[in-house]
Structure 1
């Protein structure tokens, strides 16, 4: 018998089955279970007792409620974090999805010579770029794309492979070839659509004057940054160009300018909609160099003619204003074409340059270190006069050489030069005189190595001049300590004799010799050789550039005058007499420097003019050119002939 309270056929009873007989609901009537309102599953529709579910204990209810509360609190905390704490960061990310920032390159400064002739300019051009990450992943397809691109660009496959191996970022485009002509660019524009990873783009390239190839060592070139340069230049991008050589590198901070910034709004496809902000770039400073491009070209032509006659192939010439140190010509031959590097030099061409035994990439006028030979004698003369070893009337007898024990130190002239004072010693390059004043003999105490090198250093030997070019060499002044440490031998008087005539272990750059000659020419003031004469730029600290050019050393004008007179006599009746009778009066000193082995001697000449009011000092070195009097003097004549008409 089923209790009436549980019968399911009473329509007024709080518990009533649904029509399908599957679910029922317990109402709130008294006596119907402990938990009213819960869902009951699988209630049956027949007569008799039906177990319609299980009641949930109160402790489970509490647990469920607690879990729900914890979940709610967590969700609220997350909302606060997203909408309050990190609101600014996520807003920036959202902005980044619709705006883009890009850097606008600053045009590099223009470079001109002293007359305004443009030596470096910017030109618009096309370039082919390669983004490694966009290349096909299939090796065969990748190989086809790379080979086809090399063919179209006029470069070798090796060149492209080297670009890929050197690239540290595969997602950044690297130039394959710059300066592509318009017709070739149009053909490439069609082809690149079928060459994944390659793109045709426009760029600003540097164009260098080609009238004188030797200007390459002055101007240098720009190129893409390597990792070391990137680390050393904060604020640069890997895709930026940077000066690699010459004034492009030496004046990088002036020429580069300041890049700009643009913010543009874009749509979902990256198409530009609006220019949001624009901070324009600041162009690099324009430079006026002290160089006279016409004089540079003249010197280069004359040297090439000398090479053709003599079979030599390497030379340096420095011409500067002895009053200021302004460099009018700086010639190193052989040279190269800066434009080859600016447009992207091929691997084969670069290998040809670096393996050439004449080293066309080497700026020998600034970085070459050579035995100076007799062009060192005027500076030893001043030291001897200043230290009282001799005065202007002191004479020694030159009989052809000096014997010290078993060693013989000869004059260059058999039988000697006879009675010789300091002026004649300079004019005729009398070795005996300098042996005595340098190393001493009998009752004469010579200068000794320490005082010779001290005075040489005052004139600028053994240290860099500070010209605005990279790679300047120090030269070398030997010492007793150096010889003992490196050769395991003590210093002998013969070493001092050799040093006194510019031989032995002494090394000097042509630029150092020219700067020292300028100090004699101007009456006793050292000058700092420099290339930059003027700077035109809105943010350039121009005064700071010129502040460091004040003389660092002055010499006794009366004693310098004696040396000047000796160099003048060298032209009127001495070893430089091939320059006598010119329309412009000159003073000069020849030099013939011995070289290791059986190689011919180096031919030197250094001097200045007009005598008495000089405006140009010139130093010439023809490597393995023989005697300075025969090899270098004709070049000096041509230079001063031109200067007398076209110079100041």
Structure 2
């Protein structure tokens, strides 16, 4: 049967059902869209509501750090050694830049071009920090610090309408005396990511103490930062201050170092080394009655301003210099002692009763031990000598007997030698108030077995008895040991800071002298050693100072170095009767202490006694 064709005006009997299905589908889609929109709103307003609220608020209200002015550092004679100079810093607020990475990158590239056109070195680390910062971060990031007023004017005109970029006043550390005090003062440098992680006090724009007194006294010097809550406009420009907590400035520090004396020593040492065609040397001076360091200088040195103001290439040159100018040889350098330690062994022998002041030992040019020969420095020997003459002429044979024993004569032995060296401060840090001090090394049989894989031989003890072999000391240990002999047997802890000044109250906090130990050698025995040191000058290797006024007492040392010229040592104190200064001079690879170190010491002592009363 044929079906009649439906006319176009006639309604399909299934049409209502199809419309209903379509309507239901639209309802489902609409509901789904509404549900998705609701979930998104819930996610934004409830789950992340606080997050976005903070961002919105930070676009208007911001909290900014107020950097505390760092404390100043002065020498004992009021020479300014570390100061803060007013400069300008170029900063960027990431939250005020475009959220689009490409636009941010374009702005930063344009900024680098502007800086380079003015001859201003770009801080790539700062640029990278901005690139990596979240777009909602409102913490200002320093791109370039230390800008001059002229640079500020140029940049302010060029960058006036650039979003998120500002030039703000700032203070920057500066060291007026350049390299003369660098090892003592140390320096600040831009904080690293590792340092930032380890201390929550600091922010990404801070400078961090890397060495010297800047590092040792950081808590006193840095003060306490303040903060202010400000309202900003859409360009990130400050409109008004809502609340403010003032910063508290750091404390000032006054050193025991005499600035004029330090500069004179630096001048003399530099001239002296140049004349000898040498490069390395150290001079350190101490007050034996208090442990105050009067001067401490070593070469090579460096300009600590470079780490704040210099170009990257200048910084790299210092960091990778094979002469290691960053090493403060006075406290961190390690050297064989040579004969300068014989005073400690003499004191130990007297204290143990192994020798008496009148004990005599025959020196014929050295001693034979089995197949080994241990020589005196003087061919044919020194004849019969007591402890005073043994110190005066640095008689090795006497100290071979005293340290290692010989025949029926029982010596101190390696344990006894090290015991008395330890009492005088060797083999351990002095505890001076500056970082990176070395302990030195007093070798023992256990140490040799562990480090060298060798047994301890009798020859090791004989070598140790005259300051040769594996023993290592610092110039600071030597000057401090000499001070203990000078003052009658008190070992002070050396210190560099005299007092600290609270800038807000004016209060002075003095650093008291600290005794490490005393009465470890009897007064009588110390006096014998003192007489031996005076005899060095009157009739021994220090005769160049025989007629010096006031009277000087001291000890020379020539520390042998395999395959190189020996180190030249001289350590002394004056006036002999009532010492006010102890001086130690080390000329690395200089040769004989008596001929190389003493002439420089004489010049330094001459200047001191001609000028010290006017300080």
Contact 1:319 1:330 in 2 (8 A): yes
Select 2:599's aligned residue among 634, 638, 643. 634
Counterpart mapping for 1:471-620 below 5 A: 471-537=436-502, 546=511, 549-555=514-520, 556-597=522-563, 599-620=564-585
> Which residue of the partner structure matches residue 111 of structure 1?
73
3-state SS, counterpart of residue 295 of structure 2: strand
Select 1:242's aligned residue among 208, 224, 233. 208
Superposition deviation, residue 333 in structure 1: 0.7
Q: Structure 1 residues 186 and 264 mapped into 2: Cα distance closer, same or farther (>3 Å)?
A: closer
Q: Structure 1 residues 305 and 270 mapped into 2: Cα distance closer, same or farther (>3 Å)?
A: closer
Q: Structure 1 residues 583 and 192 mapped into 2: Cα distance closer, same or farther (>3 Å)?
A: farther
Q: Distance between the aligned counterparts of 1:193 and 1:257, measured in 2?
A: 33
Counterpart mapping for 1:148-297 below 5 A: 149-155=115-121, 160-161=123-124, 170=133, 175=142, 177-192=144-159, 200-210=167-177, 213-267=179-233, 270-297=236-263
Superposition deviation, residue 420 in structure 1: 1.0
Q: Distance between the aligned counterparts of 2:549 and 2:571, measured in 1?
A: 18
3-state SS, counterpart of residue 102 of structure 1: strand
Contact 2:129 2:141 in 1 (8 A): no
Superposition deviation, residue 151 in structure 1: 5.0
3-state SS, counterpart of residue 87 of structure 2: strand
Select 1:320's aligned residue among 281, 286, 297. 286
Q: Structure 1 residues 361 and 89 mapped into 2: Cα distance closer, same or farther (>3 Å)?
A: closer
Q: Distance between the aligned counterparts of 2:304 and 2:487, measured in 1?
A: 35
> Which residue of the partner structure matches residue 27 of structure 2?
none
Superposed CA deviations along residues 425-470 of structure 1, whole A, max 9, x for unmatched, are 1111111111110000011111111111111111111111111211
Q: Structure 1 residues 381 and 205 mapped into 2: Cα distance closer, same or farther (>3 Å)?
A: same
> Which residue of the partner structure matches residue 339 of structure 2?
374
Say how many residue pairs are matched.
581
Q: Distance between the aligned counterparts of 2:291 and 2:109, measured in 1?
A: 56
Q: Distance between the aligned counterparts of 2:505 and 2:410, measured in 1?
A: 53
Q: Distance between the aligned counterparts of 2:55 and 2:565, measured in 1?
A: 72
Q: Distance between the aligned counterparts of 1:165 and 1:380, measured in 2?
A: 60
Superposed CA deviations along residues 62-98 of structure 1, whole A, max 9, x for unmatched, are xxxxxxxxx9xxx9xx99xx99xx9999998886564
Q: Structure 1 residues 538 and 196 mapped into 2: Cα distance closer, same or farther (>3 Å)?
A: closer
Q: Structure 1 residues 346 and 543 mapped into 2: Cα distance closer, same or farther (>3 Å)?
A: same
Q: Distance between the aligned counterparts of 2:75 and 2:280, measured in 1?
A: 25
Q: Distance between the aligned counterparts of 2:341 and 2:191, measured in 1?
A: 41
The structure with the larger Rg is 1
> Which residue of the partner structure matches residue 19 of structure 2?
none
Superposed CA RMSD: 4.0
Superposition deviation, residue 624 in structure 1: 0.6
Superposed CA deviations along residues 196-249 of structure 1, whole A, max 9, x for unmatched, are 887544321112132x62311011111121123223323221221121111111
Q: Distance between the aligned counterparts of 2:75 and 2:541, measured in 1?
A: 34
Q: Distance between the aligned counterparts of 2:89 and 2:62, measured in 1?
A: 24
Q: Structure 1 residues 547 and 167 mapped into 2: Cα distance closer, same or farther (>3 Å)?
A: farther
Superposed CA deviations along residues 389-414 of structure 1, whole A, max 9, x for unmatched, are 11111110111111111111111111
> Which residue of the partner structure matches residue 67 of structure 1?
none
Contact 1:526 1:554 in 2 (8 A): no
Superposed CA deviations along residues 316-374 of structure 1, whole A, max 9, x for unmatched, are 11101111111111101111111111214423x12322333322121111111111111
Superposition deviation, residue 483 in structure 1: 0.7
Select 1:306's aligned residue among 272, 282, 286. 272
Q: Structure 1 residues 120 and 169 mapped into 2: Cα distance closer, same or farther (>3 Å)?
A: farther
Q: Structure 1 residues 377 and 197 mapped into 2: Cα distance closer, same or farther (>3 Å)?
A: farther
Q: Structure 1 residues 146 and 277 mapped into 2: Cα distance closer, same or farther (>3 Å)?
A: closer
Q: Structure 1 residues 355 and 421 mapped into 2: Cα distance closer, same or farther (>3 Å)?
A: same
Q: Structure 1 residues 532 and 377 mapped into 2: Cα distance closer, same or farther (>3 Å)?
A: same
> Which residue of the partner structure matches residue 418 of structure 1?
383
Q: Does residue 1:124 correspond to 2:86, yes or no?
A: yes
Q: Structure 1 residues 439 and 454 mapped into 2: Cα distance closer, same or farther (>3 Å)?
A: same
- Where structure 1 has 5 or more consecutive residues not aligned to the other structure, the ranges are 1-52, 54-70
Contact 1:127 1:176 in 2 (8 A): yes
Q: Distance between the aligned counterparts of 1:399 and 1:343, measured in 2?
A: 62
Q: Distance between the aligned counterparts of 1:122 and 1:590, measured in 2?
A: 43
Q: Structure 1 residues 418 and 325 mapped into 2: Cα distance closer, same or farther (>3 Å)?
A: same
Contact 2:273 2:281 in 1 (8 A): no
Select 2:366's aligned residue among 396, 401, 417. 401
Q: Does residue 1:464 correspond to 2:426, yes or no?
A: no
Q: Distance between the aligned counterparts of 1:168 and 1:430, measured in 2?
A: 70
> Which residue of the partner structure matches residue 335 of structure 1?
301
Superposition deviation, residue 115 in structure 1: 1.3
Contact 2:342 2:391 in 1 (8 A): yes
Q: Structure 1 residues 97 and 164 mapped into 2: Cα distance closer, same or farther (>3 Å)?
A: closer
TM-score for both structures, normalised by structure 1: 0.80
Superposition deviation, residue 634 in structure 1: 1.2
> Which residue of the partner structure matches residue 11 of structure 2?
none
Q: Distance between the aligned counterparts of 2:152 and 2:55, measured in 1?
A: 38
Superposition deviation, residue 274 in structure 1: 3.5
Q: Structure 1 residues 261 and 628 mapped into 2: Cα distance closer, same or farther (>3 Å)?
A: same
Q: Distance between the aligned counterparts of 2:123 and 2:524, measured in 1?
A: 65
Q: Distance between the aligned counterparts of 2:213 and 2:505, measured in 1?
A: 16
